[in-house]
Amino acid sequence: MTYGKRLTVLAVLDSVIVLTAIYISIFTLHPDLQIIKSPFILGTAVTLLICHHVLASLYHLYNKAWQYASVGELMAIVKAVTFSILMTAAMQQIVFGNINFRALMITWMLHVLFIGGSRFSWRMFRDNYISKQKNIKRTLIIGAGSGGTMVARQLLHNPDIDLKPVAFIDDDPTKQKLDILGVPVVGDSSYITTAVERYQVENIVIAIPSLSQKEISRIFDECVKTKAKTQIIPKLEDLMTGKVSVNQFREVEVEDLLGREPVVLDIDSISEYVSSKTVLITGAGGSIGSEICRQICKFNPRKIVLVGHGENSIYQIDMELRKIYQNQIEIIPVIGDIQDRTRMFEVIEEHRPFVVYHAAAHKHVPLMEYNPREAVKNNIFGTKNVAEAAETFGVNTFVLISSDKAVNPPNVMGATKRFAEIVIQSLAQTSSTKFVAVRFGNVLGSRGSVIPLFKKQIQAGGPVTVTHPDMTRYFMTIPEASRLVIQSGALARGGEIFVLDMGEPVKIVDLARNLIKLSGFTEEEIGIHFGGLRPGEKMYEELLNEGEIHSEQIFPKIHIGKAKVMDVAVVSALINRLLKLSDEEMHDTLIGVANNKIDTTSLMFIAN
């Protein structure tokens, strides 16, 4: 209905209600039809009618969407009616010298009842008849706090959502047996399975935005025992920043189950060395590199230089950042290969960054076993090129993104990452640039992560392929890893290997089972196939070996270790010799040096 038609209908309806209220009240007190025709009653009726329409306009009673009417709308009605009665009473006193208090009180009650009833009866009729949908899904809401209440209100009032709340679950004992918006709180989280059966629930919404990952995992374990679809409301930070609204439910992701409590950064220390500075990131189009770019931009650098070999990925992160920070930060996309020494020196000389985050690397373990020379050229020589360029042109801090696979590596990829650490450690001995490395494990959702592979296998109907039932890995979300990398840069003094606290290792087979459940299948439907270890793979990863362990944290979730530092001349001679070796000799040399199994004398012999 258009605004003009709605205004006409409501104005006519209200006029009938006002006149009916005043005449019923008079007739109730004086059941004599003649008195109804008196000038006193006619004056009262006309005054009340005019006052009502004026105040109804003032309180926007003709503009409200009554299908969503609540306490606020009721208060507007009460105010409009009350002031109408008071103005009418003033008219009676001024014109007739007498106020009919009893008639006006009855008129006030009837006025509120009829006006409010007309509006709220429309809402009730719409909710119960017009908006009745055939495919309504009975929904159980986990959490009866402010988040759950907002979700319930949205589901009850929005006809476009096909979910109907039938019960709340909440662990707070003070909320048990309460009735919220007509929806009962039926028990705590241990009652989820029973509630789903008793109330014929088809959909579950976890509606506690501040819930810890440990609690999400515990509640999800109860939800998957049922056949109901489980969803979750957005994270608290997304709700607060306005990225999403409370009724934009999403699927429970594996990050919700494996993630940890968010790290609180030392904003002042990071701002001091990033704000108004030039920052350069290599591998800026990759999973970690691009997230470092996003996080760095929050600290308002003067200029950010995006270096990468793949033009499409650099274009994407460039466009993403420009959309948000175009008028705040100078964003420079640079296409360049870190193996191209001349190009790296040109870029760093031109932009003179204050800090460099070196995220570019080959990271695929089995592929690097088949291509050891490419791993050496990219991970060792590429790092050497960027690091020496940074030293030459006075970069303040150089942060190498390393890997847990650099610890006791049985494979080429891990060995080349350890070599990259050795390179920057040797430079740190004599350089004014602060060279540091940051080690961490697998990141959830990265392009090289096992999770996208598992999802594809599940979508194809299975089976999910896992190497070994006992294989474990450390996992961390991309944003958390990137934040801790940035924090490590702020803590750098030179020569350190920072190690991120990855929490507890996760069995890969458990990860596969969680993904199967999250996809709405059972393990029997999809199946899990164990294919055995691939070339270069380990059963478990380490972050520090026994000689490097320092249990104390220098910052929450950041440890520091001092790996063995090699002589600068030996490192330089050895690296220059690597590409002259055969593939087999190269493999053995890399593994031997990375695992400290070759002494300095032998290294000098190999180097020469």
Please measure the distance between the N-terminal and C-terminal CA atoms of the chain and give it in whole angstroms: 89
Q: What is the pLDDT of residue 303?
A: 96
**pLDDT tens sequence across 293-342:** 998 998 899 999 999 999 999 999 999 999 999 889 999 999 999 999 99
Q: What pTM was estimated for this model as a whole?
A: 0.66
Query: Considering only the top CATH level, what class is 137-252?
Result: alpha beta
Q: How far is CA 585 from CA 373, 421, 574, 590, in A?
A: 11, 21, 13, 8
275-604 and 137-252 share a CATH fold: yes
pLDDT at 272 over 70: yes
Looking at the DSSP bridge assignments, the partners of residue 398 are: 356, 435
Is 542 within 8 Å of 393 (Cβ atoms)? no
- Within 8 A by CB and 6+ apart from 506, the residues are 258, 472, 473, 474, 475
Half-sphere exposure of 502 (CA within 13 A, CB side): 24
The answer to whether 62 and 7 have CB atoms below 8 angstroms apart is yes
Cα R_g (the chain), whole angstroms:
35
| Residues in Cβ contact with 574 at an 8 Å cutoff, skipping those fewer than 6 apart | 589, 593, 603, 606, 607
pLDDT of 166 reads: 92
605 pLDDT band, cuts 50/70/90, is: low
| ∠ Cα 19 20 24 (to 5°) | 120
Nearest CA to 288 out of 496, 405, 441 is that of 441
Specify the 3-state DSSP secondary structure of 164.
strand
**Which residues participate in catalysis according to the annotation?**
405
Residue closest to 507 by CA, chosen among 473, 531, 534: 473
* The pLDDT of residue 133 is above 60: no
Q: What superfamily would CATH give domain 275-604? A: NAD(P)-binding Rossmann-like Domain (3.40.50.720)
Does residue 594 or residue 347 have the better pLDDT?
A: 347
- Which residues pair with residue 333 across a beta bridge? 306
Does the pLDDT at position 415 exceed 60? yes
pLDDT for 546 equals 55
What are the residue ranges spanned by the domains of the chain? 3-130, 137-252, 275-604
CA distance 604 to 600: 6
> Among the residues of 329-475, which ranges form H helices?
341-351, 365-370, 372-375, 382-392, 412-428, 450-459
